[in-house]
Amino acid sequence: MVRTERLTKRYGHTTALRDLDLEVSGGEVFGLLGPNGAGKTTTLRLLVDLIRPTSGRVLLFGEDVAADSVEARRRVGYLPGNLALYDDLTGAKLLKLLAGLRNHADLTVAHRLAERLDLDLDRRAGELSKGNRQKLGVVQAFQHQPDLLVLDEPASGLDPFAQRELHAAVREHADAGGTVLFSSHVLSEMEQVADRVGILLDGRLAVVDRVANLKANALRALTFTFDTPVDAGVFDRIPGVRDVTVSGCTVACRVVGNVGELVRAAAGLGLVNVTSAEPDLEDIFLDYVEKRESHVT
Ligand SMILES: Nc1ncnc2c1ncn2[C@@H]1O[C@H](COP(=O)(O)OP(=O)(O)OP(=O)(O)O)[C@@H](O)[C@H]1O
């Protein structure tokens, strides 16, 4: 459905994206994850041919997007990161206008999704709150039931209820054979909905993997508090545990994989409290680099 070949975009001296090779199949939800400025928006805009690459190419449905195929464009739904709406139109009129531009008269899907997201289509776009504007953007991307959905940070500004409905709609779209590419800063969002995740850092695709693999292989930071000071050696000996630091009654460490043995050992030492931090993107990326280098040497 989607294939990029050495896709590169430069803005003056800034390389926003370099040598991206990516393939996404029908029925797949692919999440593009990365910090600010990593190149996510650039990638998605290249995919929908809003901007053209410096080098490399994008194939959608087996066809080069630069070929300007109207047929291929009809099969794509896009939610831009910087959503612009006609503020004087109501949601219903705006959706009708956009559907008309695509020769798509049936608004049933749009109305159903608006209802699920709790979006009032009778209000003018200019009167809508940020989150409700975002919902309208989501609905216009979905409304013609495109084969490919390209969504730039779709959950941004949505309340938890609307996020859950959005994620459900994304899953349903893929389960019906459609393809979804979406971007986010947040790993936990990927966990709920993506089949595979690509991590972009400084314009490079650093890792592509299933979410479960990324998480299972990531180092998790744990902090234990005990009722009396403990010996760090107990923790050092547990497989997968590293970077143990002790400060009074508190022990901090990082652990890869199963935390069962570590937690059991801690429980036997007068444990008062334990906190666990989600591995962040940078940590996951660094783990991968570390592992790759240790394979090479
Ligand atoms: N039109 C432009 N002109 C010049 N530089 C640009 C332009 N668009 C993007 N860039 C630069 O390209 C890089 C990638 O930007 P991009 O918007 O793709 O990142 P992003 O991952 O979507 O970031 P964010 O999460 O903040 O939206 C950044 O360094 C950005 O400053």
Nearest Cα to 196, choosing from 42, 4, 22, 28? 28
Nearest atom in ligand 1 to 41's CA: 22
Domain 219-278 grouped into CATH 3.40.50? no
The reply to whether ligand 1 has any atom less than 6 angstroms from the CB of 82 is: no
Half-sphere exposure in the Cβ direction for 116 (13 Å, CA): 17
Nearest CA to ligand 1 atom 31: 37
The reply to whether ligand 1 has any atom less than 6 angstroms from the CB of 50 is: no
Nearest CA to ligand 1 atom 24: 36
The reply to whether ligand 1 has any atom less than 6 angstroms from the CB of 42 is: yes
51-60 pLDDT tens trace: 999 999 999 9
Residue ranges of the chain with per-residue pLDDT less than 50? 297
Nearest atom in ligand 1 to 185's CA: 25
Nearest atom in ligand 1 to 9's CA: 12
CA of residue 40 to ligand 1 center, whole Å = 8
CA of residue 41 to ligand 1 center, whole Å = 7
Nearest atom in ligand 1 to 38's CA: 21
* All structural domains of the chain with their residue ranges: 2-214, 219-278
pLDDT at 185: 81
pLDDT at 286: 66
Nearest CA to ligand 1 atom 17: 41
Q: Are 11 and 42 in contact (CB under 8 A)?
A: no
pLDDT at 282: 64
The reply to whether ligand 1 has any atom less than 6 angstroms from the CB of 39 is: yes
pLDDT at 240: 87
Strand partners, 274: 224
Nearest CA to ligand 1 atom 16: 39
Domain 2-214 grouped into CATH 3.40.50.300? yes
Prediction pTM value: 0.84
CA of residue 137 to ligand 1 center, whole Å = 21
pLDDT at 142: 96
Q: Are 140 and 95 in contact (CB under 8 A)?
A: yes
Max Cα separation, the chain? Answer: 72
ipTM: 0.96
What whole-number distance in Å separates Cα of residue 61 and Cα of residue 167?
24
Topology alike, domains 2-214 and 219-278 = no
CA of residue 34 to ligand 1 center, whole Å = 12
